[in-house]
Chain A
Amino acid sequence: MTVPETLPKKLGTTAEWIEKGGVHWIDPSPLSTRELCMEMNVAQARFITITAYQLPKDEGIRLEYHWDLDGQLLGFPFLLKNDSPETSKIESIFDLCEAVDWIEREIHEEYNIEFTGREYEPLLLRAGDTLGVNLREEVKK
């Protein structure tokens, strides 16, 4: 049995992996991003990136966390509501996974999402630029 097959049990979920679009997906709920990251660290998976999508209308923002495990691309989606600044928040995993630093900072700048529990320094935006100016629909308009 390969690690991805045993992972759902470790994650405490009954859901199964779904292979779609080149990624092995699983719904990580009820795990938080931090709990998931700890499990990935134990499995010695390599963090790849977080992809953020703004869903249509007011459906929110989807954050897809990707790790590589023995050449398999794993994907874990998290949904954030974007009805207020308070709901556009998610726990940072920076202290658990150093590799996440720049992508958390980038998503913070592109989508105005708050990764709680960490400090930011500017990455791509320069002084005077508005958070979310590039990819957050409400700000772009």
Chain B
Amino acid sequence: MSYKIPMGPYHPALEEPYKLDMICEGETVIDAKLHIGFNFRGIEHLAETRNYIQVIALMERVCGICSNIHTLTLCQAMEGLTGQTPPPRAKYIRVIMAELERLHSHVLWAGIASKLMGFKTMFMTCFEIREKIMDVLAAISGNRVNYSMNRIGGVNRDIDDPAAILKMIEQLEGEMMKTVIPIFTTSSTARSRCAGIGVLTHEKAISCGVVGPTARAAGLAQDLRRAAPYAAYSELEFDVPVEQAGDVRARLFVRALEIIESCKILRQALTKLPPGEINTGEQKIVFTTGTATSRVEAPRGEVIYSVSWKENARNPSRVHVRTPTYVNMPAVRWMVKGARLADTPLIQASIDPCYSCTDR
């Protein structure tokens, strides 16, 4: 006899509200249905009532973890409509902020995954490191969460002392290389809890159109920083980690390796930071009629913004946001099919879901 077990909308395993209705036979999940919308705020509608300064502040609040990525994508789209080109230094600062945010996001996720594995010591270690990454972000931007760094035509704040930031990054990297990376890649606890569970096959990953580490853990070597470089990524060297297994361990592995790659990018960007202005200094921004689209590789995968504006209009006529969790989330249904009920909290967390992004 089958029975239905709901997980959510409020559940200890969920960072934010959503609902996974699982049909089980014994301890095995045979099907699942997802329900979202509990965080729906109508942000795309609100964006149509904000001017070009206000809309950046609004979109920064789509997500509390990858807030910088949202403003970066939005500003890149708006730069397409205003003809503004950020100076080289601004492009490098954008890369530095984006990679610090990736580190922050991946380490946060590693902490939550550790907690769900029952590995609470690791949870504490990850959150301690995350605090230090937030300290670096605060040292650059003055803020720990919503950094207000991006503007049309560049960034709002400079990095006055790249050497000091580089020193902080090297210390952080040293700590992560001693703790997070070896534990997640070699420890038997992580392996026994993650290997072979929540498998998303390569074929299913393609048909679901998943993005980011979820896709790369299923053998899809897609990364916009490489395939369609933006900011200063085309001038930096890095690898795109790809795993084939498609299970939770592969997602863990990909993120651990991406932490190493992010540190590599940060070192290069801080060393090569070109001199010059940090924005175009344009006081009056003039929009042309049209639509511009921008994509970036957020910590969880591809974010796309499509912005429409009419000349002389105060507000955008449309801002459409497609976040990575929006495409990764439906794949959870296939990951939990055939899984043990006890593994489902970790499986759903393995895509690093963000429901406030998804619901907008």
Q: Which stretch (A3-11, A28-36, A82-90, A117-125) binds chain B?
A: A117-125
CB of A48 within 8 A of CB of B209, answer yes
CB of A122 within 8 A of CB of B37, answer yes
CB of B322 within 8 A of CB of A124, answer no
User: Which residue of the partner chain, among B81, B304, B306, B330, contacts A102 with CB atoms under 8 Å?
Assistant: B330
A-B contacts counted at CB < 8 A amount to 85
Contacts of B209 in A (CB 8 A): 46-48, 97-99
Contacts of B317 in A (CB 8 A): 53
CB of B37 within 8 A of CB of A98, answer no
Encode B304-338 as 1/0 by CB contact (under 8 A) with A: 10101000000001101010001101100000000
Distance to closest chain B CB from A95 (angstroms): 12
CB of A21 within 8 A of CB of B290, answer yes
Q: Given A71-B227, A99-B209, A122-B37: A48 and B304 within 8 A (CB)? A: yes
The count of chain B contact residues (Cβ–Cβ below 8 Å) is 39
B228 at the interface (CB under 8 A from A): yes
Distance to closest chain A CB from B93 (angstroms): 21
Distance to closest chain A CB from B256 (angstroms): 25
CB of B45 within 8 A of CB of A22, answer no
Q: Given A48-B302, A48-B304, A73-B228: A21 and B207 within 8 A (CB)? A: no
Contacts of B304 in A (CB 8 A): 48-49, 66
B291 at the interface (CB under 8 A from A): yes
Separation of A51 and B44 alpha carbons in the complex (Å): 12
B135 at the interface (CB under 8 A from A): no
Distance to closest chain A CB from B171 (angstroms): 35
User: Which residue of the partner chain, among B208, B224, B359, contacts A99 with CB atoms under 8 Å?
Assistant: B208
User: Which residue of the partner chain, among B42, B302, B322, contacts A134 with CB atoms under 8 Å?
Assistant: B42
A25-74: which have CB < 8 Å to B?
46-49, 51-54, 64, 66, 70-73
Separation of A126 and B35 alpha carbons in the complex (Å): 11
B77 at the interface (CB under 8 A from A): yes
CB of B80 within 8 A of CB of A124, answer no
B222 at the interface (CB under 8 A from A): yes
User: Which residue of the partner chain, among A22, A46, A73, A101, contacts B330 with CB atoms under 8 Å?
Assistant: A101
Separation of A98 and B290 alpha carbons in the complex (Å): 30
A20 at the interface (CB under 8 A from B): yes
Smallest Cβ-Cβ distance to B44: which chain A residue? A135
Distance to closest chain A CB from B356 (angstroms): 13
Smallest Cβ-Cβ distance to B227: which chain A residue? A71
User: Which residue of the partner chain, among A49, A70, A71, A125, contacts B37 with CB atoms under 8 Å?
Assistant: A125
Smallest Cβ-Cβ distance to B229: which chain A residue? A71
The count of chain A contact residues (Cβ–Cβ below 8 Å) is 33
CB of B44 within 8 A of CB of A134, answer yes
Contacts of A71 in B (CB 8 A): 224, 226-228
Separation of A125 and B359 alpha carbons in the complex (Å): 10
CB of B295 within 8 A of CB of A73, answer yes
A95-141: which have CB < 8 Å to B?
97-99, 101-103, 110, 122-126, 134-135
Smallest Cβ-Cβ distance to A44: which chain B residue? B206
B40 at the interface (CB under 8 A from A): yes
CB of B293 within 8 A of CB of A103, answer no
User: Which residue of the partner chain, among B37, B226, B294, B329, contacts A124 with CB atoms under 8 Å?
Assistant: B37
Contacts of B330 in A (CB 8 A): 98-99, 101-102
Contacts of A46 in B (CB 8 A): 206, 209, 222
B23 at the interface (CB under 8 A from A): no
CB of B227 within 8 A of CB of A124, answer no
CB of A48 within 8 A of CB of B322, answer yes
Distance to closest chain A CB from B79 (angstroms): 10
Contacts of B58 in A (CB 8 A): none
CB of B293 within 8 A of CB of A75, answer yes
CB of B207 within 8 A of CB of A22, answer no
A79 at the interface (CB under 8 A from B): no
CB of B293 within 8 A of CB of A21, answer yes
Separation of A35 and B297 alpha carbons in the complex (Å): 30
Distance to closest chain A CB from B305 (angstroms): 10
A80 at the interface (CB under 8 A from B): no
Nearest 10 CB-CB pairings of A with B: A71-B227, A99-B209, A21-B292, A49-B322, A124-B37, A51-B320, A71-B228, A51-B306, A22-B293, A124-B40
What would 10 A/B residue contacts be, using CB atoms closer than 8 Å? A20-B290, A21-B291, A22-B292, A48-B322, A49-B322, A52-B320, A64-B291, A64-B306, A66-B304, A71-B224
Q: Interface on A for B, CB 8 Å cutoff?
A: 20-23, 46-49, 51-54, 64, 66, 70-73, 75, 97-99, 101-103, 110, 122-126, 134-135
A-B contacts besides A47-B209, A48-B304, 12 pairs, CB < 8 Å: A21-B291, A21-B293, A51-B320, A52-B320, A53-B317, A66-B304, A98-B330, A99-B208, A122-B37, A123-B36, A124-B37, A134-B45
